A and B are shown apart, each in its own frame.
Chain A
Amino acid sequence: MKYVDEYRKKELILSIAEKLKAISTKEIVLMEVCGGHTMAIHRFGLHSLLPSNIHLISGPGCPVCVSGQHFIDTAMAYSKLPGVIITTYGDLIRVPGSFTSLEKERANGSDIRIVYSVLESLEIAKNNPEKKVVFLGIGFETTAPATAAAILQAKQENILNFFVLSAHKVMPPVMKALVKEGVKIDGFIAPGHVSAITGTAIFDELASVCGLGVVVSGFEPVDMMQAILMLVIQIESGKQRVEVQYQRVVHTEGNKTAQRMLEEVFKLRDDQWRGLGMIPKSGLKIREELKAFDAEVQFNVEVPASSEPKGCICGQILRGLKTPVDCPLFGKKCTPSDPVGACMVSGEGTCATYYKYRV
């Protein structure tokens, strides 16, 4: 398959592994912030190909995992309102809220539908004019432009029964927050698809001010090995900067159209990250001019104070401070079929990935 097979070539992967062994001398910690990267590392067993002085840790890049408990609880409250259809990307329906999950509410009779694209949600709204259709907007700069496009389309076509509950977030503030908190990181394997939208300037400060290596990487094993090699070369030579490995997709200036749509629909707000707390200017709120589509404005629901599950160390895992095996609940009380924390739910969550691929 084109764009897949050539990036999974055994000889290429092994030759990069050899190079790494030859040039890498320092103990370094690299963080991948994207859930897709976490999954690729485990799926292709890349850990086992790296020299023992290169440590990979996983960051807060799984959108399902970082969506605050309050967001899930709010979605649940909407689902109980009469005439409401909740539409959501699949992973979210199994995330435990403070009291229940969307999956359980669906079994209780709420109309909750899985969609593969926000535009499907818009279709559902068109086809059910007597219902109110709420789309649960999660994800970073990757999924947010699609949500923005749907809101703009709803406005243009005057679809007034379509609403978005936005938990969309942006990546750079959380990356900076981790560094400021003192998590030991020498370089970031930066998210490929986020960068395809935003361009690479968002990482400049991490390199110039914090002195970290940043390489935007693709998601195939050759991509990731090459990105790691680029980071090691930077760090070994003391020339940390922002580089793009994923050049077939990412351009320095990003996708201007998507950026314009994001700007038109959303504004930055302080936002709650599961396990990490409030991070300034890290969330996307729907602008006042488009409040007709903002579920937070249009629906008035009482959401009880949310509670994080006891004993769950998702927060420390999302900071890269601990790994899932350090958690007393991992694989015992918390499994993919009965998850306690969000990191065990999404296929891209660090805990689910560890659980699924551990040999």
Chain B
Amino acid sequence: MKNSEDKIMLGHGSGGQLMHKLIEEVFIRHFDNPILKEQTDAAILTTGTEQIAFTTDSFVIDPLFFPGGDIGKLAVCGTVNDLAVSGAEPLYLSVSMIIEEGFPMKDLETIVASLAAEAKKAGVLIVTGDTKVVNKGKCDKLFINTAGIGRIKKEDLLISKALNLMPGDVIIINGTIGDHGMAVMNARESFNFKTTVESDCASLNHLIQNLLDNSTAKFMRDPTRGGVASVLNELVQKIKLGIEIDEAALPIDRGVKAMCEVLGFDPLHIANEGKVLIVASETEGLKILERLKTHELGKNSAIIGRIVSDYPGKVVLKNETGGRRIIDTLSGDQLPRIC
């Protein structure tokens, strides 16, 4: 880092440019190894002749309970999805809890039951864990870390590496964007928007497995923190091609759209917890779209854009009047406008 006075700011954890810089300049610099350098959602490891995917994620969400889920459900979905988008079949999870002294036992049990229910739904076993209790005020109620292991079939090994992407390839998403971020924000802040927006928090492994078994996707990633914009920007950096998104094609819930209009947010920057972005050739893409639409978690799937040879390294949004603008990653926390 450039200055010994520098401190960690909230923006360093928000999935935008600041966080990428931190990862590059501190974590990767010290941990330096070829597996980590791939920077995929899950590390791909070889044991004997088998490939496994290994990932971890921490959950510090506030509030612990929100429309559409709670921290327990989220802790399973997050890790299961990181494995699933890497082309792996999620098998085992660990769950570690850091609990604040005085936390209600009843709430803990509700959250643990929710972890168990979601694990069952996703078909994974929670096989190990850890418990720490800290003094009151030393953590905010409850933090959860989960790690997960999954098995990868040889043919699905390259899915997270974004190889062979070409102009004309289509970009698909399995439904509306920004639901999780706006549902949590509405629950946390004092806006009191009267809205039915719920978190999309869901384990996507069954949906993704179905796709992998029946079609060929070139790339998959779950657009969580930093939203769709973050994933697409990382992708264009890697492939040295451009992406053009069609604004009219973006599936956005009315409530999410309205909240974003009022607060000055871009839904493309808002977090999702039950979405996957898929890149495929046009022919495969159309098949994938049809298949997705038959699944409960893919009813609102849509082709939202394409890989293009114009604007290499940039994600461009085409609006309905034909105007174009850049979609950048967020540079820090997304802040509401003031007037």
Chain A residues with CB under 8 Å of chain B are 1, 4, 8, 10, 13-14, 35-36, 42-46, 48-49, 63-64, 89-94, 103-104, 106-108, 114, 116-117, 120, 123, 138-140, 142-143, 193, 221, 335-337, 346-348, 355-359
Q: How far is the CA of A44 from the CA of B326 in the complex (A)?
A: 11
A150–chain B nearest beta-carbon distance, Å? 14
* B interface size (C-beta, 8 A): 38
Interface code B84-112, partner A: CB below 8 Å = 1, 0 otherwise? 00000000000000000000000000000
Known A103-B9, A108-B7, A359-B326; judge A1-B258 contact (CB<8 A): yes
- Select one of A10, A46, A336, A359 contacting B320, CB under 8 A: A10
Q: How far is the CA of A89 from the CA of B338 in the complex (A)?
A: 6
Q: Does B37 sit at the interface, judged by CB under 8 A?
A: no
Q: Which residues of A contact B326 (CB under 8 A)?
A: 356-359
- Select one of A35, A45, A348 contacting B325, CB under 8 A: A45
- Select one of A42, A48, A139 contacting B339, CB under 8 A: A139
Say yes or no: B339 contacts A337, CB within 8 Å.
no
Say yes or no: B331 contacts A337, CB within 8 Å.
yes
Known A49-B321, A221-B321; judge A116-B336 contact (CB<8 A): yes
Q: How far is the CA of A356 from the CA of B338 in the complex (A)?
A: 18
18 A–B pairs (Cβ distance < 8 Å), ordered by A: A4-B257, A10-B320, A14-B321, A44-B321, A45-B319, A92-B338, A123-B190, A139-B338, A193-B339, A221-B321, A335-B331, A336-B328, A336-B331, A336-B332, A337-B21, A348-B337, A358-B326, A359-B325
Minimum CB distance partner of B255 in chain A: A1
Chain B residues with CB under 8 Å of chain A are 7-11, 16-18, 21, 189-191, 254, 257-258, 261, 263-264, 311, 314, 316, 319-326, 328, 331-333, 335-339
| Inter-chain residue pair count (beta carbon < 8 A) | 109
Known A44-B321, A120-B190; judge A347-B264 contact (CB<8 A): yes
Q: How far is the CA of A336 from the CA of B338 in the complex (A)?
A: 17
Q: Which residues of B contact A103 (CB under 8 A)?
A: 9-11, 332
Q: How far is the CA of A14 from the CA of B322 in the complex (A)?
A: 10
Known A63-B339, A138-B338, A348-B337; judge A356-B328 contact (CB<8 A): yes
Q: How far is the CA of A114 from the CA of B7 in the complex (A)?
A: 19
B261–chain A nearest beta-carbon distance, Å? 6
Say yes or no: A45 contacts B336, CB within 8 Å.
no
Q: How far is the CA of A104 from the CA of B261 in the complex (A)?
A: 29
B10–chain A nearest beta-carbon distance, Å? 8
Known A14-B321, A63-B338; judge A107-B9 contact (CB<8 A): yes
- Select one of B17, B21, B261 contacting A1, CB under 8 A: B261
Told that A91-B335, A116-B191 touch, could you supply 17 new A-B pairs with CB distance under 8 A? A1-B254, A1-B261, A4-B257, A8-B320, A44-B323, A48-B323, A94-B335, A103-B332, A104-B7, A116-B189, A116-B336, A193-B339, A221-B321, A357-B325, A359-B314, A359-B324, A359-B325
Q: How far is the CA of A332 from the CA of B331 in the complex (A)?
A: 14
Say yes or no: B336 contacts A89, CB within 8 Å.
yes
Say yes or no: B324 contacts A143, CB within 8 Å.
no
Say yes or no: B324 contacts A45, CB within 8 Å.
yes
A61–chain B nearest beta-carbon distance, Å? 9
Minimum CB distance partner of A139 in chain B: B339
- Select one of A8, A107, A140 contacting B7, CB under 8 A: A107
Q: Which residues of A contact B324 (CB under 8 A)?
A: 45, 359
Minimum CB distance partner of A108 in chain B: B7
Q: How far is the CA of A121 from the CA of B21 in the complex (A)?
A: 33
Say yes or no: B335 contacts A90, CB within 8 Å.
yes
Say yes or no: A93 contacts B335, CB within 8 Å.
yes
B330–chain A nearest beta-carbon distance, Å? 8
A273–chain B nearest beta-carbon distance, Å? 17
A53–chain B nearest beta-carbon distance, Å? 20
Say yes or no: A337 contacts B17, CB within 8 Å.
yes
